[in-house]
Chain A
Protein backbone atom coordinates (compact mmCIF):
# COMPACT_ATOMS: atom_id res chain seq x y z
CA UNK A 1 0.00 0.00 0.00
CA UNK A 2 1.09 3.53 -0.61
CA UNK A 3 -0.67 6.61 0.59
CA UNK A 4 -0.64 10.17 -0.65
CA UNK A 5 -1.38 12.86 1.93
CA UNK A 6 -2.41 16.27 0.60
CA UNK A 7 -0.63 18.80 2.80
CA UNK A 8 -2.24 21.86 4.27
CA UNK A 9 0.35 24.61 4.13
CA UNK A 10 0.93 28.32 3.53
CA UNK A 11 3.78 27.80 1.03
CA UNK A 12 6.40 28.29 3.75
CA UNK A 13 5.31 26.00 6.57
CA UNK A 14 3.13 22.95 7.12
CA UNK A 15 -0.11 23.36 9.04
CA UNK A 16 -0.77 21.19 12.06
CA UNK A 17 -3.77 19.40 10.55
CA UNK A 18 -1.37 17.72 8.12
CA UNK A 19 0.39 15.96 11.01
CA UNK A 20 -2.88 14.41 12.26
CA UNK A 21 -3.67 13.29 8.72
CA UNK A 22 -0.28 11.60 8.43
CA UNK A 23 -1.06 9.81 11.70
CA UNK A 24 -4.22 8.38 10.11
CA UNK A 25 -2.19 7.36 7.06
CA UNK A 26 0.34 5.61 9.31
CA UNK A 27 -2.48 3.61 10.89
CA UNK A 28 -3.53 2.36 7.46
CA UNK A 29 0.09 1.37 6.89
CA UNK A 30 2.50 1.37 3.93
CA UNK A 31 4.59 4.16 2.42
CA UNK A 32 3.30 7.65 3.11
CA UNK A 33 4.10 10.35 0.55
CA UNK A 34 3.04 13.94 0.89
CA UNK A 35 2.05 16.45 -1.79
CA UNK A 36 2.80 20.14 -1.44
CA UNK A 37 0.88 21.95 -4.17
CA UNK A 38 1.57 25.66 -4.07
CA UNK A 39 3.66 28.50 -5.47
CA UNK A 40 7.16 29.32 -4.23
CA UNK A 41 6.54 26.52 -1.79
CA UNK A 42 9.99 24.93 -1.54
CA UNK A 43 10.24 25.95 2.14
CA UNK A 44 7.04 24.04 2.85
CA UNK A 45 8.50 21.08 0.94
CA UNK A 46 11.63 21.14 3.08
CA UNK A 47 9.56 21.34 6.26
CA UNK A 48 7.51 18.35 5.07
CA UNK A 49 10.65 16.29 4.45
CA UNK A 50 11.49 16.56 8.17
CA UNK A 51 8.16 15.14 9.35
CA UNK A 52 8.51 11.73 10.99
CA UNK A 53 7.52 8.76 8.86
CA UNK A 54 7.35 10.39 5.43
CA UNK A 55 8.71 8.42 2.50
CA UNK A 56 8.72 11.06 -0.21
CA UNK A 57 7.71 14.69 -0.60
CA UNK A 58 6.20 15.72 -3.93
CA UNK A 59 6.43 19.44 -4.61
CA UNK A 60 4.24 20.90 -7.35
CA UNK A 61 5.44 24.49 -7.45
CA UNK A 62 3.49 26.62 -9.89
CA UNK A 63 1.47 29.87 -9.77
CA UNK A 64 -1.60 27.81 -10.79
CA UNK A 65 -1.47 26.06 -7.40
CA UNK A 66 -0.76 29.09 -5.21
CA UNK A 67 -4.18 29.26 -3.55
CA UNK A 68 -5.04 25.56 -3.86
CA UNK A 69 -7.91 26.29 -6.28
CA UNK A 70 -9.65 22.96 -6.55
CA UNK A 71 -10.19 23.27 -10.32
CA UNK A 72 -6.39 23.22 -10.75
CA UNK A 73 -5.21 21.07 -7.87
CA UNK A 74 -7.75 18.25 -8.29
CA UNK A 75 -6.54 17.17 -11.78
CA UNK A 76 -2.97 17.29 -10.46
CA UNK A 77 -3.87 14.89 -7.64
CA UNK A 78 -5.77 12.66 -10.08
CA UNK A 79 -2.68 12.47 -12.27
CA UNK A 80 -0.57 11.35 -9.28
CA UNK A 81 -3.28 9.06 -7.90
CA UNK A 82 -2.49 6.03 -10.05
CA UNK A 83 0.56 5.35 -7.88
CA UNK A 84 -1.45 5.18 -4.67
CA UNK A 85 -3.98 3.03 -2.85
CA UNK A 86 -5.21 5.86 -0.61
CA UNK A 87 -5.44 9.63 -0.86
CA UNK A 88 -5.95 11.54 2.38
CA UNK A 89 -6.46 15.17 3.29
CA UNK A 90 -7.46 16.86 6.52
CA UNK A 91 -11.19 17.58 6.84
CA UNK A 92 -10.49 21.32 6.69
CA UNK A 93 -12.47 23.63 4.43
CA UNK A 94 -9.63 23.20 1.95
CA UNK A 95 -9.64 19.39 2.16
CA UNK A 96 -13.42 19.30 1.86
CA UNK A 97 -13.22 21.54 -1.20
CA UNK A 98 -10.71 19.33 -2.98
CA UNK A 99 -11.19 15.69 -1.97
CA UNK A 100 -14.73 15.06 -3.34
CA UNK A 101 -13.73 16.63 -6.65
CA UNK A 102 -10.69 14.35 -6.86
CA UNK A 103 -12.81 11.39 -5.90
CA UNK A 104 -15.46 11.95 -8.58
CA UNK A 105 -12.73 12.47 -11.20
CA UNK A 106 -11.41 9.02 -10.18
CA UNK A 107 -14.96 7.59 -10.23
CA UNK A 108 -14.55 6.78 -6.54
CA UNK A 109 -16.89 7.45 -3.61
CA UNK A 110 -14.89 9.45 -1.08
CA UNK A 111 -15.31 8.95 2.64
CA UNK A 112 -15.67 12.14 4.68
CA UNK A 113 -14.10 12.81 8.07
CA UNK A 114 -12.88 9.38 9.11
CA UNK A 115 -12.52 9.19 12.88
CA UNK A 116 -10.90 5.74 13.08
CA UNK A 117 -9.08 3.28 10.85
CA UNK A 118 -10.41 -0.27 11.22
CA UNK A 119 -8.44 -1.77 8.33
CA UNK A 120 -7.07 -0.65 4.96
CA UNK A 121 -10.58 -0.57 3.49
CA UNK A 122 -12.77 -0.09 6.56
CA UNK A 123 -13.16 3.14 8.50
CA UNK A 124 -15.36 4.80 11.07
CA UNK A 125 -16.98 8.17 10.64
CA UNK A 126 -19.62 10.18 12.50
CA UNK A 127 -22.99 10.74 10.81
CA UNK A 128 -26.16 12.53 11.98
CA UNK A 129 -24.23 15.20 13.88
CA UNK A 130 -22.15 12.55 15.60
CA UNK A 131 -25.17 10.75 17.06
CA UNK A 132 -24.21 7.66 15.10
CA UNK A 133 -20.76 6.25 14.41
CA UNK A 134 -20.83 4.47 11.06
CA UNK A 135 -18.37 1.73 10.18
CA UNK A 136 -18.02 1.73 6.40
CA UNK A 137 -16.12 -0.39 3.90
CA UNK A 138 -14.94 0.89 0.54
CA UNK A 139 -14.61 -1.26 -2.58
CA UNK A 140 -13.00 1.49 -4.66
CA UNK A 141 -9.50 0.67 -5.97
CA UNK A 142 -8.24 4.07 -4.76
CA UNK A 143 -9.69 5.15 -1.44
CA UNK A 144 -10.12 8.89 -1.18
CA UNK A 145 -10.81 10.37 2.25
CA UNK A 146 -10.79 13.34 4.55
CA UNK A 147 -9.61 12.88 8.12
CA UNK A 148 -11.18 14.30 11.25
CA UNK A 149 -7.97 15.65 12.71
CA UNK A 150 -9.13 15.66 16.34
CA UNK A 151 -9.45 11.86 16.19
CA UNK A 152 -5.75 11.25 15.50
CA UNK A 153 -2.76 12.40 17.55
CA UNK A 154 -0.29 14.32 15.37
CA UNK A 155 2.98 12.71 14.27
CA UNK A 156 6.24 14.45 15.16
CA UNK A 157 7.09 17.48 13.08
CA UNK A 158 10.77 16.57 13.13
CA UNK A 159 12.86 13.45 12.88
CA UNK A 160 12.32 12.39 9.28
CA UNK A 161 14.50 12.84 6.23
CA UNK A 162 12.33 12.17 3.21
CA UNK A 163 13.46 12.72 -0.34
CA UNK A 164 11.99 15.69 -2.21
CA UNK A 165 10.81 15.30 -5.78
CA UNK A 166 9.46 18.01 -8.08
CA UNK A 167 6.24 17.55 -10.01
CA UNK A 168 6.32 19.48 -13.27
CA UNK A 169 2.86 19.03 -14.67
CA UNK A 170 0.73 22.14 -14.67
CA UNK A 171 -3.04 22.07 -14.59
CA UNK A 172 -4.60 25.45 -15.02
CA UNK A 173 -8.30 25.21 -15.80
CA UNK A 174 -8.57 29.00 -15.95
CA UNK A 175 -12.17 28.91 -14.77
CA UNK A 176 -11.56 30.16 -11.25
CA UNK A 177 -9.53 32.94 -9.74
CA UNK A 178 -8.52 33.82 -6.19
CA UNK A 179 -9.31 37.44 -5.37
CA UNK A 180 -8.36 37.67 -1.71
CA UNK A 181 -8.83 36.62 1.84
CA UNK A 182 -10.00 38.39 4.94
CA UNK A 183 -8.17 36.75 7.78
CA UNK A 184 -8.75 37.69 11.37
CA UNK A 185 -5.46 38.47 13.11
CA UNK A 186 -5.15 36.93 16.53
CA UNK A 187 -2.33 36.14 18.89
CA UNK A 188 -4.37 33.39 20.46
CA UNK A 189 -3.84 29.77 19.46
CA UNK A 190 -5.74 28.35 16.51
CA UNK A 191 -9.12 26.94 17.49
CA UNK A 192 -8.57 23.43 16.17
CA UNK A 193 -5.06 23.14 17.63
CA UNK A 194 -5.55 24.73 21.07
CA UNK A 195 -5.37 22.60 24.21
CA UNK A 196 -7.92 24.87 25.90
CA UNK A 197 -10.95 26.38 24.17
CA UNK A 198 -13.44 28.78 25.70
CA UNK A 199 -16.60 29.41 23.69
CA UNK A 200 -19.47 31.83 24.01
CA UNK A 201 -23.05 31.47 22.91
CA UNK A 202 -26.19 33.52 22.58
CA UNK A 203 -25.98 34.23 26.31
CA UNK A 204 -23.05 36.58 25.62
CA UNK A 205 -25.67 39.02 24.26
CA UNK A 206 -23.33 40.95 21.97
CA UNK A 207 -19.86 41.06 20.43
CA UNK A 208 -18.44 43.50 23.00
CA UNK A 209 -19.16 41.07 25.81
CA UNK A 210 -16.82 38.54 24.17
CA UNK A 211 -14.05 40.71 25.69
CA UNK A 212 -14.87 38.92 28.95
CA UNK A 213 -14.03 35.62 27.25
CA UNK A 214 -10.88 36.98 25.62
CA UNK A 215 -9.55 38.05 29.02
CA UNK A 216 -10.04 34.59 30.49
CA UNK A 217 -8.69 33.01 27.30
CA UNK A 218 -5.48 35.02 27.52
CA UNK A 219 -4.91 33.92 31.11
CA UNK A 220 -5.35 30.28 30.09
CA UNK A 221 -3.57 30.46 26.73
CA UNK A 222 -6.86 29.38 25.22
CA UNK A 223 -8.50 29.80 21.83
CA UNK A 224 -11.94 31.39 21.66
CA UNK A 225 -14.86 29.77 19.88
CA UNK A 226 -18.57 30.40 19.55
CA UNK A 227 -21.85 28.64 19.00
CA UNK A 228 -23.75 29.02 15.74
CA UNK A 229 -26.25 31.28 17.49
CA UNK A 230 -23.49 33.74 18.42
CA UNK A 231 -22.10 33.74 14.87
CA UNK A 232 -25.52 34.07 13.23
CA UNK A 233 -26.31 37.00 15.53
CA UNK A 234 -23.15 38.69 14.28
CA UNK A 235 -21.36 38.75 17.66
CA UNK A 236 -18.22 37.15 16.19
CA UNK A 237 -16.97 36.03 12.73
CA UNK A 238 -17.72 32.67 11.10
CA UNK A 239 -14.27 31.15 11.63
CA UNK A 240 -15.03 30.95 15.35
CA UNK A 241 -18.01 28.62 14.97
CA UNK A 242 -17.72 25.27 16.70
CA UNK A 243 -20.23 22.58 15.72
CA UNK A 244 -21.53 20.04 13.22
CA UNK A 245 -21.03 22.39 10.32
CA UNK A 246 -18.36 24.59 11.84
CA UNK A 247 -15.06 23.55 13.38
CA UNK A 248 -14.58 20.30 15.24
CA UNK A 249 -12.49 20.68 18.38
CA UNK A 250 -11.34 18.21 21.03
CA UNK A 251 -9.11 20.13 23.44
CA UNK A 252 -8.04 19.02 26.91
CA UNK A 253 -10.43 21.59 28.35
CA UNK A 254 -13.53 23.07 26.73
CA UNK A 255 -15.39 25.83 28.56
CA UNK A 256 -18.88 26.56 27.21
CA UNK A 257 -20.22 29.90 28.38
CA UNK A 258 -23.82 30.91 27.77
CA UNK A 259 -24.26 28.00 25.36
CA UNK A 260 -27.42 25.93 25.73
CA UNK A 261 -25.96 22.85 24.04
CA UNK A 262 -27.93 22.13 20.84
CA UNK A 263 -26.98 18.78 19.26
CA UNK A 264 -25.33 20.68 16.42
CA UNK A 265 -22.97 22.39 18.87
CA UNK A 266 -22.29 19.22 20.87
CA UNK A 267 -21.25 17.53 17.61
CA UNK A 268 -18.31 19.92 17.42
CA UNK A 269 -16.95 19.62 20.96
CA UNK A 270 -18.17 16.54 22.80
CA UNK A 271 -14.90 14.67 22.30
CA UNK A 272 -13.10 17.25 24.45
CA UNK A 273 -11.39 15.64 27.43
CA UNK A 274 -12.88 17.87 30.11
CA UNK A 275 -15.98 19.98 29.52
CA UNK A 276 -17.04 22.89 31.71
CA UNK A 277 -20.44 24.56 31.27
CA UNK A 278 -21.38 27.92 32.69
CA UNK A 279 -25.03 28.75 32.17
CA UNK A 280 -27.71 30.41 34.22
CA UNK A 281 -30.35 27.91 33.04
CA UNK A 282 -29.81 24.77 35.10
CA UNK A 283 -31.96 22.80 32.62
CA UNK A 284 -29.65 23.63 29.68
CA UNK A 285 -28.72 20.41 27.80
CA UNK A 286 -25.03 21.41 27.89
CA UNK A 287 -24.95 20.25 31.53
CA UNK A 288 -25.68 16.69 30.39
CA UNK A 289 -22.24 16.45 28.77
CA UNK A 290 -20.33 18.70 31.17
CA UNK A 291 -17.85 17.27 33.67
CA UNK A 292 -18.19 20.44 35.71
CA UNK A 293 -21.31 22.54 35.59
CA UNK A 294 -21.72 25.96 37.12
CA UNK A 295 -25.22 27.40 37.24
CA UNK A 296 -24.47 31.10 37.30
CA UNK A 297 -24.86 34.41 35.53
CA UNK A 298 -21.92 34.52 33.15
CA UNK A 299 -21.52 38.26 33.64
CA UNK A 300 -20.67 37.54 37.27
CA UNK A 301 -18.81 34.27 36.70
CA UNK A 302 -16.45 35.40 33.94
CA UNK A 303 -14.92 38.34 35.87
CA UNK A 304 -14.55 36.04 38.88
CA UNK A 305 -12.84 33.44 36.71
CA UNK A 306 -10.58 36.12 35.29
CA UNK A 307 -9.48 37.33 38.71
CA UNK A 308 -9.30 33.83 40.21
CA UNK A 309 -6.93 32.40 37.61
Chain B
Protein backbone atom coordinates (compact mmCIF):
# COMPACT_ATOMS: atom_id res chain seq x y z
CA UNK B 1 0.00 0.00 0.00
CA UNK B 2 1.02 3.54 -0.78
CA UNK B 3 1.22 6.10 2.02
CA UNK B 4 1.37 9.85 1.76
CA UNK B 5 2.83 11.63 4.77
CA UNK B 6 2.68 15.31 5.54
CA UNK B 7 5.67 17.13 7.00
CA UNK B 8 5.53 20.74 8.11
CA UNK B 9 8.40 23.11 8.79
CA UNK B 10 7.76 24.87 12.09
CA UNK B 11 9.66 26.65 14.84
CA UNK B 12 11.46 24.07 17.00
CA UNK B 13 9.29 22.96 19.91
CA UNK B 14 11.87 24.13 22.45
CA UNK B 15 11.61 27.72 21.25
CA UNK B 16 9.20 30.04 23.02
CA UNK B 17 7.95 32.06 20.06
CA UNK B 18 6.85 35.59 20.86
CA UNK B 19 4.82 38.20 19.04
CA UNK B 20 6.75 40.85 17.09
CA UNK B 21 6.95 44.13 18.91
CA UNK B 22 4.68 45.78 16.31
CA UNK B 23 2.10 43.00 16.86
CA UNK B 24 1.98 42.04 13.18
CA UNK B 25 2.77 38.37 13.69
CA UNK B 26 5.04 35.83 15.36
CA UNK B 27 8.70 36.83 15.53
CA UNK B 28 10.52 34.04 13.70
CA UNK B 29 13.74 35.91 12.92
CA UNK B 30 16.71 33.65 13.69
CA UNK B 31 14.44 31.00 15.19
CA UNK B 32 15.59 27.40 14.78
CA UNK B 33 13.20 25.56 12.46
CA UNK B 34 12.42 21.85 12.55
CA UNK B 35 9.95 19.22 11.46
CA UNK B 36 6.68 19.48 13.40
CA UNK B 37 6.90 16.84 16.19
CA UNK B 38 3.54 15.28 15.29
CA UNK B 39 4.66 14.96 11.63
CA UNK B 40 7.72 13.09 12.87
CA UNK B 41 5.42 10.55 14.54
CA UNK B 42 3.51 10.16 11.24
CA UNK B 43 6.78 9.56 9.36
CA UNK B 44 7.86 6.97 11.93
CA UNK B 45 4.56 5.10 11.67
CA UNK B 46 4.75 4.96 7.88
CA UNK B 47 8.34 3.71 8.03
CA UNK B 48 7.36 0.98 10.50
CA UNK B 49 4.54 -0.06 8.19
CA UNK B 50 7.05 -0.39 5.39
CA UNK B 51 9.43 -2.38 7.58
CA UNK B 52 6.53 -4.68 8.46
CA UNK B 53 5.70 -5.23 4.81
CA UNK B 54 2.43 -3.31 4.97
CA UNK B 55 3.48 -0.22 3.06
CA UNK B 56 5.20 -0.41 -0.30
CA UNK B 57 5.89 3.24 -0.95
CA UNK B 58 6.07 6.31 1.28
CA UNK B 59 5.85 9.79 -0.21
CA UNK B 60 6.70 12.73 2.03
CA UNK B 61 4.89 15.95 1.14
CA UNK B 62 5.63 19.40 2.47
CA UNK B 63 3.93 22.65 1.59
CA UNK B 64 5.96 25.73 2.39
CA UNK B 65 8.98 27.82 1.45
CA UNK B 66 11.96 26.46 -0.44
CA UNK B 67 13.67 25.80 2.90
CA UNK B 68 10.96 23.24 3.74
CA UNK B 69 13.01 20.97 1.50
CA UNK B 70 15.13 20.33 4.63
CA UNK B 71 12.14 18.79 6.38
CA UNK B 72 11.33 16.64 3.32
CA UNK B 73 14.98 15.49 3.37
CA UNK B 74 14.63 14.63 7.05
CA UNK B 75 11.62 12.44 6.21
CA UNK B 76 13.61 10.81 3.39
CA UNK B 77 16.48 10.13 5.79
CA UNK B 78 14.01 8.52 8.19
CA UNK B 79 12.81 6.16 5.48
CA UNK B 80 10.39 7.85 3.07
CA UNK B 81 11.02 6.85 -0.55
CA UNK B 82 10.52 10.14 -2.34
CA UNK B 83 9.38 13.65 -1.67
CA UNK B 84 7.10 16.34 -3.04
CA UNK B 85 7.58 19.98 -2.16
CA UNK B 86 4.73 22.34 -2.92
CA UNK B 87 6.66 25.54 -2.86
CA UNK B 88 5.08 28.77 -1.72
CA UNK B 89 6.18 31.79 0.26
CA UNK B 90 2.63 32.44 1.38
CA UNK B 91 1.78 31.08 4.84
CA UNK B 92 -1.08 28.89 3.62
CA UNK B 93 -4.24 28.23 5.61
CA UNK B 94 -5.24 24.64 6.38
CA UNK B 95 -7.97 24.77 3.72
CA UNK B 96 -5.49 25.71 0.97
CA UNK B 97 -3.04 23.09 2.27
CA UNK B 98 -5.81 20.47 2.21
CA UNK B 99 -6.63 21.47 -1.38
CA UNK B 100 -3.00 20.92 -2.36
CA UNK B 101 -3.15 17.48 -0.75
CA UNK B 102 -6.39 16.70 -2.55
CA UNK B 103 -4.70 17.51 -5.87
CA UNK B 104 -1.73 15.29 -4.96
CA UNK B 105 -4.07 12.47 -3.84
CA UNK B 106 -5.82 12.65 -7.23
CA UNK B 107 -2.47 12.13 -8.92
CA UNK B 108 -0.84 9.64 -6.57
CA UNK B 109 -3.86 7.61 -5.42
CA UNK B 110 -2.48 6.75 -1.98
CA UNK B 111 -4.22 4.21 0.25
CA UNK B 112 -3.58 6.27 3.33
CA UNK B 113 -2.62 9.84 4.19
CA UNK B 114 -0.82 10.07 7.53
CA UNK B 115 -0.48 13.45 9.22
CA UNK B 116 0.27 14.93 12.61
CA UNK B 117 -2.89 15.86 14.52
CA UNK B 118 -1.76 19.46 14.62
CA UNK B 119 1.19 21.70 13.88
CA UNK B 120 2.63 23.41 16.91
CA UNK B 121 2.74 26.85 15.25
CA UNK B 122 -0.88 27.62 14.37
CA UNK B 123 -2.28 24.90 16.68
CA UNK B 124 -5.12 24.52 14.20
CA UNK B 125 -5.70 20.76 14.16
CA UNK B 126 -7.60 20.96 10.86
CA UNK B 127 -5.63 19.80 7.83
CA UNK B 128 -6.28 16.04 8.08
CA UNK B 129 -10.01 16.49 8.62
CA UNK B 130 -10.17 18.89 5.67
CA UNK B 131 -8.40 16.42 3.36
CA UNK B 132 -11.00 13.91 4.54
CA UNK B 133 -13.77 16.28 3.51
CA UNK B 134 -12.27 17.07 0.10
CA UNK B 135 -11.46 13.46 -0.82
CA UNK B 136 -14.60 12.03 0.78
CA UNK B 137 -12.41 9.49 2.58
CA UNK B 138 -12.91 8.31 6.14
CA UNK B 139 -10.77 9.90 8.83
CA UNK B 140 -9.42 8.92 12.22
CA UNK B 141 -7.97 11.77 14.25
CA UNK B 142 -5.80 11.44 17.41
CA UNK B 143 -4.52 7.95 16.53
CA UNK B 144 -2.61 6.04 19.19
CA UNK B 145 -2.66 2.68 17.39
CA UNK B 146 -3.18 1.73 13.75
CA UNK B 147 -3.81 -1.81 12.51
CA UNK B 148 -4.13 -2.52 8.80
CA UNK B 149 -6.01 -5.46 7.33
CA UNK B 150 -6.58 -5.60 3.58
CA UNK B 151 -9.11 -2.95 2.73
CA UNK B 152 -9.69 -1.63 6.25
CA UNK B 153 -7.80 -0.06 9.10
CA UNK B 154 -8.65 -0.17 12.77
CA UNK B 155 -7.56 2.87 14.71
CA UNK B 156 -7.54 3.54 18.44
CA UNK B 157 -8.17 7.23 19.04
CA UNK B 158 -7.23 9.30 22.09
CA UNK B 159 -10.53 11.03 22.85
CA UNK B 160 -11.59 13.16 25.84
CA UNK B 161 -13.22 10.24 27.63
CA UNK B 162 -10.43 7.72 27.02
CA UNK B 163 -9.74 5.51 24.02
CA UNK B 164 -12.14 5.00 21.13
CA UNK B 165 -11.77 2.35 18.45
CA UNK B 166 -13.01 2.89 14.92
CA UNK B 167 -12.75 0.89 11.72
CA UNK B 168 -12.32 2.74 8.43
CA UNK B 169 -12.48 1.70 4.82
CA UNK B 170 -9.36 2.49 2.81
CA UNK B 171 -8.32 4.89 1.44
CA UNK B 172 -8.38 6.86 4.65
CA UNK B 173 -6.88 9.81 6.48
CA UNK B 174 -5.21 9.28 9.84
CA UNK B 175 -3.89 12.05 12.09
CA UNK B 176 -1.51 10.87 14.76
CA UNK B 177 -1.22 11.62 18.46
CA UNK B 178 1.72 11.49 20.83
CA UNK B 179 1.46 7.91 22.03
CA UNK B 180 1.47 6.24 18.60
CA UNK B 181 5.20 5.63 18.60
CA UNK B 182 8.57 7.06 19.51
CA UNK B 183 10.28 8.45 16.42
CA UNK B 184 13.81 7.25 15.64
CA UNK B 185 16.77 9.42 14.75
CA UNK B 186 18.10 9.35 11.23
CA UNK B 187 21.41 7.48 10.93
CA UNK B 188 24.32 9.04 9.09
CA UNK B 189 24.29 6.47 6.24
CA UNK B 190 20.54 7.10 5.81
CA UNK B 191 21.09 10.85 5.74
CA UNK B 192 23.64 10.31 2.97
CA UNK B 193 21.29 7.98 1.08
CA UNK B 194 18.47 10.52 1.39
CA UNK B 195 20.48 13.01 -0.61
CA UNK B 196 20.05 10.80 -3.67
CA UNK B 197 16.29 10.44 -3.31
CA UNK B 198 14.05 12.57 -5.54
CA UNK B 199 12.06 15.55 -4.42
CA UNK B 200 9.56 16.70 -7.04
CA UNK B 201 8.71 20.34 -6.91
CA UNK B 202 5.43 21.96 -7.72
CA UNK B 203 3.42 25.00 -6.63
CA UNK B 204 -0.15 25.60 -5.43
CA UNK B 205 -0.79 27.38 -8.76
CA UNK B 206 0.34 24.32 -10.73
CA UNK B 207 -1.97 22.22 -8.59
CA UNK B 208 -4.82 24.63 -9.36
CA UNK B 209 -5.25 25.73 -5.75
CA UNK B 210 -6.59 29.18 -4.89
CA UNK B 211 -4.51 30.40 -1.97
CA UNK B 212 -6.34 33.67 -1.23
CA UNK B 213 -6.69 33.83 2.58
CA UNK B 214 -10.14 33.59 4.11
CA UNK B 215 -9.07 34.50 7.60
CA UNK B 216 -6.68 37.38 8.07
CA UNK B 217 -4.47 38.07 11.04
CA UNK B 218 -5.24 41.53 12.41
CA UNK B 219 -3.02 41.40 15.44
CA UNK B 220 -0.62 39.08 17.26
CA UNK B 221 -0.15 40.04 20.89
CA UNK B 222 1.54 38.52 23.90
CA UNK B 223 -0.91 36.97 26.36
CA UNK B 224 -1.50 38.55 29.73
CA UNK B 225 1.59 37.58 31.71
CA UNK B 226 1.22 35.93 35.06
CA UNK B 227 3.39 37.34 37.77
CA UNK B 228 5.27 34.88 39.91
CA UNK B 229 3.72 34.86 43.36
CA UNK B 230 5.24 34.00 46.68
CA UNK B 231 7.13 31.02 48.01
CA UNK B 232 5.63 29.44 51.09
CA UNK B 233 7.74 27.79 53.76
CA UNK B 234 5.74 24.65 54.36
CA UNK B 235 2.47 22.83 53.74
CA UNK B 236 0.80 24.46 56.75
CA UNK B 237 1.47 27.94 55.35
CA UNK B 238 0.24 26.82 51.92
CA UNK B 239 -3.08 25.60 53.34
CA UNK B 240 -3.43 28.79 55.38
CA UNK B 241 -2.86 30.99 52.29
CA UNK B 242 -5.27 28.97 50.14
CA UNK B 243 -7.95 29.24 52.82
CA UNK B 244 -7.56 32.81 53.99
CA UNK B 245 -5.80 34.73 51.24
CA UNK B 246 -6.80 33.11 47.94
CA UNK B 247 -10.03 31.73 49.47
CA UNK B 248 -10.12 28.83 47.02
CA UNK B 249 -10.54 26.08 49.60
CA UNK B 250 -12.57 25.99 52.76
Contact = CB atoms under 8 A, between A and B. Distances in A.
Asked if A and B are interacting partners, one says yes
Interface of A: 69-71, 74, 92-94, 96-105, 107-113, 122, 126-140, 173-184, 192, 196, 220, 228, 231-232, 237-239, 244-245, 247, 252-253, 263-264, 270, 273-276, 282, 287-296, 301, 304-305, 308-309
**SS of A interface (majority):** mixed
B247 to A, nearest CB: 9
Nearest to B125: A96
B218 to A, nearest CB: 5
B93 A294 contact: no
A293 B232 contact: yes
B242 interface: yes
A302 to B, nearest CB: 9
Contact of A295 (B98, B136, B231, B241): B231
B107 interface: no
**SS of B interface (majority):** mixed
A71 B137 CA distance: 8
Contact of B220 (A134, A264, A273): A134
A178 B249 CA distance: 42
Interface in B181-225: 213-223
Contacts of A97: 129, 139, 141-142
B222 to A, nearest CB: 7
A181 B130 contact: no
B166 A104 contact: no
A18 to B, nearest CB: 13
Report, nearest first, the 10 A-B pairs whose CB atoms are least far apart.
A104-B133, A291-B229, A100-B129, A109-B214, A104-B130, A100-B126, A304-B235, A135-B219, A175-B138, A253-B248
Interface of B: 11, 13, 16-19, 26, 38, 93-95, 98, 117-118, 120-134, 136-142, 144, 154, 157-169, 172, 177-179, 213-223, 226, 228-232, 234-236, 238-239, 241-242, 246, 248-249
B187 to A, nearest CB: 24
A244 B216 contact: no
B248 A305 contact: no
A45 B143 CA distance: 31
B163 A181 contact: yes
Contacts of A308: 235-236, 239
Contact of A132 (B165, B214, B223, B239): B223
A104 B158 CA distance: 23
A179 B235 contact: no
A136 B239 CA distance: 42
9 contacts: A96-B129, A104-B134, A111-B215, A179-B167, A245-B117, A245-B177, A292-B238, A293-B229, A305-B238
Nearest to A138: B215
A181 B219 contact: no
Q: Which of A128, A273, A288 has the most B CB atoms < 10 Å from its CB?
A: A128
Contacts of A276: 238, 242
Contacts, number: 263
A79 to B, nearest CB: 14
Contact of A133 (B122, B137, B162, B220): B220
Contacts of A274: 242, 246, 248
Nearest to B38: A245
Q: Which of A93, A122, A294, A296 has the most B CB atoms < 10 Å from its CB?
A: A93
Given A179-B165, A182-B163, A135 B120 contact: no
Given A176-B167, A290-B228, A296 B234 contact: yes
Contacts of A247: 160
Contacts of A140: 214-215
A288 B226 CA distance: 8
Contacts of A292: 229-232, 238, 241-242, 246
Contact of B126 (A103, A232, A253): A103
A291 B229 CA distance: 4
Nearest to B127: A100
Contact of B248 (A252, A282, A301): A252
Nearest to B18: A131
A102 B126 CA distance: 11
A287 B124 CA distance: 29
A44 B157 CA distance: 25
A97 B223 CA distance: 27
Contacts of B11: 128
Contact of A183 (B121, B162, B239): B162
A239 B160 contact: yes
A58 B168 CA distance: 28
Given A128-B17, A309-B249, A239 B214 contact: no
Nearest to B230: A292
Contacts of B220: 127, 132-135
B133 A74 contact: yes
A288 B178 contact: no
A25 to B, nearest CB: 19
B167 A228 contact: no
A275 B230 CA distance: 11
A130 B163 CA distance: 26
B130 A133 contact: no
